[in-house]
Structure 1
Amino acid sequence: MEQVSGTFTIDLRRLTVLRELQRRGSLARTAEALRLTPSAVSQQLAALAREAGVPLTEREGRGVRLTGQARVLLAHADAIAAQLERARADLAAYGEGGRGSVTVGCFSSGILGLLPPVLRDLGERLPQVRVDVVEAEPPDLFTALDSGQVDVAVAVDFAKAPPHTDDRYSREDLFTDVLDLVVPAGHRLVGQGPVGLRELARDAWIVGAAESCCGAVARSVCAAAGFTPDVRHAVNDWGALAALVEAGQGVALIPRLVRDLYVRRRVVVLETAGEPAARNVFAAVRAGSDGDAVLGVVRDQLRTAGQAWAVGG
């Protein structure tokens, strides 16, 4: 392959494909995330390699893996993306933050419990700005954030979320959302005082799908308690999940963010021994966008709502 020339130029859109391949780990998953064909992804990567003058992928079994040169380029890609985001933020600030719209991506229970007061307050503080909400979870949420389809991501820390050290994002923790242990009204442990989660190891469990944030977190919490839950029902809708608990079909960990969906049902929230199960909720924007006036207001309202949950949730 040719050496890098003095007129080195690359297509920034192709860098997005490379960044997504780093996140997804395969051409097929990258193509699915970007709504392209695997062939188109391969062509974009090949064109980027020609522009860069270095190999970016190499065969590994039936798939591909990133080369060392690709990882060097990705480090610069993150810096380039952050600098472009700062330029956009500076332009928005020059226009006094008068951008017409902002899109918030958020997980389902966050939309139910966290966003309503945020959206009401944003309507008062930014009456000329349209605020859209998209339901999404990692990794798709951060693909949308990278591509500009989402401006602010609100997510839960779990295996598919980016690590705290990911320099592509400016993030801040909002609050800790407790997961209540909810059982049917006639459950054998009702009235027995604080219980250890492992005491329910032989119960039927109602848990979200394994790939969802709450499904993954619930399984992780049970694993940390020393058992694998017997999942009888995989349900992502919190109202439906609470109804199944009420019907005696199993026990569940339900986030307090959606407590309005279960406190009026014939279920019991058991007090757990030790620290209750919980998940960390955070907000993230693209690195370099901290100076954006509109995003600053959105982040401020999310912070305020998070503090309210930390105190009263």
Structure 2
Amino acid sequence: MKPLSHDFMDDLRRLRVLREFRERGTVTATAEALHLTPSAVSQQLAGLSHDLGFPVTRKDGRRIALTPRGEALLGHADTVFAQLEHARHDLQTFDETLRGTVRIGAFSTALAGLLPTALDHLAAKYPELVVSLRQSEPPQLFDQLDAGRIDVAIAVAFDGSPTVGDPRYHRVELGADVLDVAVPAGHPHAGDAAINLRDLAEDAWITGSPGGCCASITGTACAAAGFTPDIRHQVDDWLAVTQLVAHSHGVALLPRLAQQNLPPGLTVRPVATQQPQRHVFAAVQEGAQDSPILQAVLEQLSAVGGTRYGGQHVDHAGN
């Protein structure tokens, strides 16, 4: 093997492709994430191997896998990218004034139940800081974070979200979003202090799309209660879900983040046994967590999340 030149890491674009390949696992998935063709991804990886003087990938049956040296290279690349991200944010706030724009991507119920209060606190404390929001879900949410189109991602720990130990991101846990039972106000169990899911085995159920987080949680919770729910409606819009429940078209598990401006005719009660929940977190690119601006944003998100999830359940009873 020829000696490595001193500029062997100059082309960071190829290293970004290699990092994405590590996370996606296939050339096709990498190409889709980076908006490239599979042949362009293959050329980037081959070119990187040629310039380095050793292969970064190898054939593993019908698949392509990282070589041990490719894995080692990425370990160093993660450090380099984190330091570059730290430098970018350090220079952005070099005058020690918290001003500028922070772009936050988040799922819909976080936009409704978590971020308005966080933005209130940020506006009061840092009037020169502008926060811009956009709605997005994994995996596209983290593609946007990787590409620098957003600065903070807020997501639920589920399929499509990065794992806790992912070296690309600094992760801040925001708490567990508990799911309560939503039933029509005239339901036989609407007066219960807490509802045992087994008592709803004969009801029609409303869930999200198959394979989604809340649909999976509903299926798991009902299975633990000893029955398979009769899923009558599959709806991802929480306003529509609450209206359907209020009009007696089914029952549902409703995240507390989604319990905003509930309509009359609907009652929300906690689950009597183990409460189902989903875990919410915020992520920034590794190295960016040292930015004073992002520190301020993450601190406010953590504070609001702690207040939101640390409080007691408040009953919602429709008339």
Deviation of 1:68 (Å): 3.0
Return closer, same or farther for 1:219/1:135 CA change in 2, 3 Å cut-off.
Answer: farther
Cα separation, 2, equivalents of 1:100 and 1:293: 11
Deviation of 1:72 (Å): 2.2
Moved more, 17-26 or 184-193: 184-193
Partner letter of residue 242 of structure 2?
A
Cα separation, 2, equivalents of 1:68 and 1:202: 55
Q: Report how many aligned residue pairs link the two structures.
A: 311
Q: Does 1:239 align with 2:242?
A: no
Partner of 1:163: 163
Deviation of 1:183 (Å): 2.0
Partner of 1:259: 259
Contact kept in structure 1, 2:172 and 2:298, CA below 8 Å: no
Return closer, same or farther for 1:271/1:120 CA change in 2, 3 Å cut-off.
Answer: closer
Partner letter of residue 309 of structure 2?
A
Partner letter of residue 164 of structure 2?
H
Return closer, same or farther for 1:155/1:4 CA change in 2, 3 Å cut-off.
Answer: farther
Contact kept in structure 2, 1:145 and 1:151, CA below 8 Å: yes
Contact kept in structure 1, 2:112 and 2:260, CA below 8 Å: no
Partner of 2:154: 154
Q: How does 1:110-259 map to 2 (within 5 A)?
A: 110-191=110-191, 194-225=194-225, 227-259=227-259
Percent pairwise identity: 46
Cα separation, 2, equivalents of 1:114 and 1:93: 26
Contact kept in structure 1, 2:98 and 2:126, CA below 8 Å: no
Cα separation, 1, equivalents of 2:225 and 2:51: 51
Contiguous gaps of at least 5 residues in structure 2:
314-319
Deviation of 1:108 (Å): 0.7
Contact kept in structure 2, 1:205 and 1:233, CA below 8 Å: yes
Partner letter of residue 52 of structure 1?
L
Partner letter of residue 218 of structure 1?
T
Cα separation, 2, equivalents of 1:304 and 1:169: 20
Return closer, same or farther for 1:271/1:303 CA change in 2, 3 Å cut-off.
Answer: closer
Q: Deviations over 1:19-75 (max 9, x none)?
A: 222222222322222222222222222222223333233345654333333322222
Tell me the TM-score normalised to structure 2 length.
0.85
Deviation of 1:181 (Å): 1.1
Partner of 1:294: 293
Return closer, same or farther for 1:56/1:220 CA change in 2, 3 Å cut-off.
Answer: farther
Equivalent residue of 2:275, what SS? coil
Deviation of 1:114 (Å): 0.6
Deviation of 1:85 (Å): 1.8
Partner of 1:6: 5
Cα separation, 2, equivalents of 1:170 and 1:273: 35
Deviation of 1:193 (Å): 5.5
Partner letter of residue 200 of structure 1?
L
Partner letter of residue 250 of structure 1?
G
Contact kept in structure 1, 2:57 and 2:64, CA below 8 Å: yes
Cα separation, 2, equivalents of 1:95 and 1:268: 52
Partner letter of residue 279 of structure 1?
R
Return closer, same or farther for 1:64/1:205 CA change in 2, 3 Å cut-off.
Answer: farther
Contact kept in structure 1, 2:178 and 2:275, CA below 8 Å: yes
Partner of 2:64: 64
Partner letter of residue 5 of structure 1?
L
Deviation of 1:16 (Å): 1.9
- Cα-Cα RMSD: 2.6
Moved more, 106-115 or 126-135: 126-135
Deviation of 1:294 (Å): 1.0
Equivalent residue of 1:248, what SS? coil
Deviation of 1:235 (Å): 1.3
Partner letter of residue 94 of structure 1?
F
Equivalent residue of 2:232, what SS? strand
Partner of 1:280: 279
Partner of 2:101: 101
Cα separation, 2, equivalents of 1:195 and 1:159: 29
Deviation of 1:179 (Å): 0.6
Tell me the TM-score normalised to structure 1 length.
0.87
Partner letter of residue 253 of structure 1?
L
Deviation of 1:9 (Å): 1.3
Equivalent residue of 2:290, what SS? coil
Partner of 1:40: 40
Cα separation, 2, equivalents of 1:107 and 1:4: 48
Equivalent residue of 1:138, what SS? coil
Partner of 2:90: 90
Cα separation, 1, equivalents of 2:221 and 2:77: 36
Deviation of 1:90 (Å): 2.6
